[in-house]
Amino acid sequence: MKTIDGGVTAAKGFKASSCQAEIKYKDRTDMAFVYSELPCVCAGTFTSNVVKAACVMWDKKIVESGGPMQAVVINSGIANACTGKEGFDACEATARAAEGALGIPYTSVAVASTGVIGMQLPVDKLVAGVEKMSTTLDGSLLAGTEASKAIMTTDTVNKEIAVSFEIAGKTVTLGGMSKGSGMIHPNMCTMLAFLTTDIAIDKTLLQEAVSDVVKDTFNMITVDGDTSTNDTLLCMANGLAENEKITEKNEDYITFKNALMFVCEYLAKKMAADGEGASKLFEAKVIGAKDKQDARVLSRAIVGSNLSKAAIYGCDANFGRFLCAMGYSGADFDQNDVELYFESAAGRLKVFDKGTPIVFDEDKALEIMKEDTVTVFVNMNEGEAMATAWGCDLTYDYVKINADYRS
Amino acid sequence: MKTIDGGVTAAKGFKASSCQAEIKYKDRTDMAFVYSELPCVCAGTFTSNVVKAACVMWDKKIVESGGPMQAVVINSGIANACTGKEGFDACEATARAAEGALGIPYTSVAVASTGVIGMQLPVDKLVAGVEKMSTTLDGSLLAGTEASKAIMTTDTVNKEIAVSFEIAGKTVTLGGMSKGSGMIHPNMCTMLAFLTTDIAIDKTLLQEAVSDVVKDTFNMITVDGDTSTNDTLLCMANGLAENEKITEKNEDYITFKNALMFVCEYLAKKMAADGEGASKLFEAKVIGAKDKQDARVLSRAIVGSNLSKAAIYGCDANFGRFLCAMGYSGADFDQNDVELYFESAAGRLKVFDKGTPIVFDEDKALEIMKEDTVTVFVNMNEGEAMATAWGCDLTYDYVKINADYRS
């Protein structure tokens, strides 16, 4: 497997476009279109929030009915959540506009939104945007990059990646894009992520691979503990790589799943590092846990704690806060088994040894904490399970961004 | 029942003292002593954090063994959590110093600590502090107030209250003090709260009343979602009011429990409003919930969300964030039943009506949000249960305080 240039248009048969629809932002693109020349098998994971956006319910229906999916229309600025019947009507109008422009069934058009909750979408602008983007669909890598920019809200960088790998002599490509960067505490998948691939694969296996991979990637990041109403990951596979179709969990399936893991971990970490106001990527690695569930819960609690996040921002090796977060995570353990280290490109320092604090070199600690990526490494010494979670520090800018986001 | 002056020394037979022991702070008092002339029946609730401070385990043992309790020694600056065997030895040394100075059994001396986790207490300073405070114990209201100041960490105001009420012709007094103001998301009781009363009551009933009341008061506040390793509430009752001892859940029990509710709610709200960096008290009232548990979970989720807290700070009536928090709280509901209002001393405004956003007057909303106390009022329209939770806004100062707390 190798990383290649591009994102959602890297795989064969996928095109993208974007436009300035003035949904809410005035001076930038705010709609994106991803389109496959052929109908795709599709998989998706969605927010576990009880309050689901209209578009989440729309897409869930397509995925659960078995597809096919041929296009996704995304807007930034308004989330289309808490919008009642009018919100659903906006989804249908968007899909029908794509049907009208491209002659594909409206039931194969997914929609996704991100932005302010509780505000209605301007349907006329949405429809005009779809019509405009239908005429500019383009298979170039640049078109994919432009799409990844149009879906940003408070993100400071666009996020895309593509990889290619061989399956029995055929080159398969998988690309994706995603956006954050607040209300990030996914509980099915991330805010918005779109993956496109030309692999030929059975729909059930595609969904299984996606659901599995999401647990160790998008579901392991947190920015602020707020699980969005709009979290959506969609993966479309059009089969144009012409590999022998994957219909069982053979070696080809493993190859594909590894590529999927690589792509999803890349996008997830990019989102964590670009969390609202973030100045650092904050990683928690838990090893030696009783079971996988415990390892996940513990590592997520560490990166999710406001006090831990503030300590990371302040470069303060205040390890008690990390132990405290583990203690209220819900996992049961004995503090007398736990070893805790801080590590980064500048080195590694043990600070807590099986119940007892270690007197450590504060200068060394500061040097480690000052790096762009800081890892809290924990050995639970009670089993063999491990997990890694990603978050970011809590800064003045997070408060600034969110005290004045809507207006 | 009426509110009277004072705190932990308001009830008959209670004395207090405080001193500058230089545990960690250099220019203020940092130890407090609360003492009863007679041994007391006692009740307590403690943190649910798996990582419990040494002092929590010490006090739990006293409460669970049935007491009696006659004194509490408290220090601020260092939490005595994650300190291994040395931490336990510090608890015992403190209690034995009180035994030596006052001739009371060391097993009746509770200890409590608050401050940095993972740092050892200087035992010599602790013991010297206990000896000094033993000679200055005083029943005046001022001595109680001074004690409430000595236990503060990042608190900006001390927190105390006292009430008196009649039980069959006898005047009973109940007083208390508490401290916050970060790592506040109690899951048994608050960071530190001490209640003293001269009521004569059976130990089991005292514990039952305390446990019940804590659920609707201290357990309903949150500052940052971080459940401390040190949360401790202790209630001591010495019987000096000479009321007929309460041994069953009669009218006298109800009278006492109502007074306890009043005192605990007062202290809990004071702690929420004085949360680290807070500029406002942020209240969530949920009515019409399916059951009490749902009402509690929903109201706590609202005041616990970073995004909601940042919106409250920014005076932004961004109601979608509050609905979003309810949605991921774990409670199941239909957004099409929900009504949501903002209210404060400046008025009340409905913003969401059973699934549909309401176009509201932004000027009026701003006026409401600008007040010192802002309430999010939610009617679930699915039952008769209700609950109220208290928190505070998320400000630059929270980040500032916690990015540089240890050093």
Counted residue by residue, chain B has a size of 407
Mean pLDDT computed over every residue of chain A: 91
3-state secondary structure of A184: coil
Count CB neighbours of B107 within 10 A. Answer: 18
Q: What is the mean pLDDT of residues A359-370?
A: 94
Complex ipTM > 0.85: no
Residue A276 included in any domain = no
- CA of A244: how far to CAs of A169, A198, A248, A253, A256, in Å? 10, 12, 11, 11, 13
How, if at all, do strands A339-344 and A14-19 pair? unpaired
Q: Smallest CA–CA separation between A403 and chain B, in Å?
A: 4
For residue B404, the chain A residues in CB contact (below 8 A) are 314, 316
B153 is in an annotated binding site: yes
Q: Which of residues 364-393 of B touch A (CB under 8 A)?
A: none
3-state helix, strand, coil in chain A (%, to 5): 35, 30, 35
Interface check A224 vs B, CB under 8 A:
yes
**A319 and A244 in one domain?**
no
Could you say which of A154, A190, A222, A375 is catalytic?
Answer: A190
Count CB neighbours of A290 within 10 A. Answer: 16
Sheet of A347-353: strand order equals A356-357, A347-353, A339-344, A373-379, A281-289, A385-392
Q: What is the pLDDT of residues A127-169, one digit of tens each?
A: 999 999 999 999 999 999 999 999 998 888 899 999 999 998 9
Q: What is the mean pLDDT of residues A217-224?
A: 82
pLDDT at A203 over 80: yes
**B302 and B267 in one domain?**
no
Sign, CA dihedral B216-B218-B224-B228, equals negative
Q: Which amino acid is at B256?
A: F
Q: What is the pLDDT of residues A293-304, one digit of tens each?
A: 999 999 999 999
CATH number of the domain to which A35 belongs: 3.60.70.12
Please give the Cα distance from A134 to A361 (Å, whole number): 61
Q: Which of B231, B290, B309, B321 would you mutate first to test chain A, the one with the most A CBs within 10 A?
A: B321
Q: Which of A402, A405, A406 would you mutate first to test chain B, the one with the most B CBs within 10 A?
A: A402
**B320 and B214 in one domain?**
no
**B336 and B209 in one domain?**
no
Counted residue by residue, chain A has a size of 407
- Selecting from A50, A311, A324 the residue whose C-beta is nearest the C-beta of B49 gives A324
Helix (H) or strand (E) holding B403: helix B396-403
How, if at all, do strands A109-116 and A159-167 pair? unpaired
Interface check A187 vs B, CB under 8 A:
yes
Sorting pLDDT into bands at 50, 70 and 90, what band is A405? low
The answer to whether the Cβ–Cβ distance between A403 and B310 falls below 8 Å is yes
Domain membership of residue A310 as a residue range: 281-403
Rg (CA), chain B: 22
Interface check A363 vs B, CB under 8 A:
no
Nearest alpha-carbon partner for B372 in B310, B309, B312: B312
CATH number of the domain to which B318 belongs: 3.10.20.340
Cβ-based contacts under 8 A for chains A and B: 229
**pLDDT value of position B187:** 52
Please give the Cα distance from A368 to B246 (Å, whole number): 59
**B138 and B6 in one domain?**
yes
pLDDT at A188 over 50: no
**Domain tally, chain B:** 2
Residue B107 annotated among the catalytic residues of the structure: no
Rg (CA), chain A: 22
For residue B325, the chain A residues in CB contact (below 8 A) are 226
**A201 and A300 in one domain?**
no
**B56 and B189 in one domain?**
yes
**pLDDT value of position A407:** 46
**B286 and B139 in one domain?**
no
The domain boundary residue, chosen from A247, A271, A295: A271
**B242 and B319 in one domain?**
no
Residue A364 included in any domain = yes
What does the angle CA A33 – CA A39 – CA A45 come to, to the nearest 5 degrees? 70
Q: Smallest CA–CA separation between B392 and chain A, in Å?
A: 13
What does the angle CA B244 – CA B249 – CA B255 come to, to the nearest 5 degrees? 70
Please give the Cα distance from A366 to A389 (Å, whole number): 22
Q: Which amino acid is at B297?
A: V
Q: What is the mean pLDDT of residues A206-228?
A: 86
**A92 and A218 in one domain?**
yes
For residue B328, the chain A residues in CB contact (below 8 A) are 48-50, 185, 187, 226-227
**A254 and A287 in one domain?**
no
Which carries the bigger pLDDT value, residue A239 or residue A48? Answer: A239
- Selecting from A335, A404, A405 the residue whose C-beta is nearest the C-beta of B51 gives A335
Q: What is the pLDDT of residues A230-239, one digit of tens each?
A: 888 889 999 9
Q: Which residue of A has its CA nearest to B406?
A: A318
Mean pLDDT, contiguous 10-residue spans, chain B (407 residues): 94 96 94 96 88 92 93 94 93 98 97 90 97 97 96 89 92 91 58 90 95 89 77 91 95 94 90 87 95 94 90 91 90 94 95 92 94 96 94 88 66
Sorting pLDDT into bands at 50, 70 and 90, what band is A332? very high
The domain boundary residue, chosen from A271, A306, A339: A271
For residue B307, the chain A residues in CB contact (below 8 A) are 182-183, 224, 226, 402
Burial of A164-193, coded b for 16+ CB within 10 Å and e otherwise, reads bbebeeeebbbbbbbbbbbbbbbbbbbbbb
**pLDDT value of position A196:** 94
What residue numbers of A does the annotated binding site for substrate cover? 153, 179, 190, 276, 402, 407
Please give the Cα distance from A191 to A232 (Å, whole number): 6
Tokens of A195: 């993956």
**B211 and B135 in one domain?**
yes
Burial of A94-114, coded b for 16+ CB within 10 Å and e otherwise, reads bbebbbebbebebbbbbbbbb
Residue A289 included in any domain = yes
The domain boundary residue, chosen from B273, B290, B325: B273
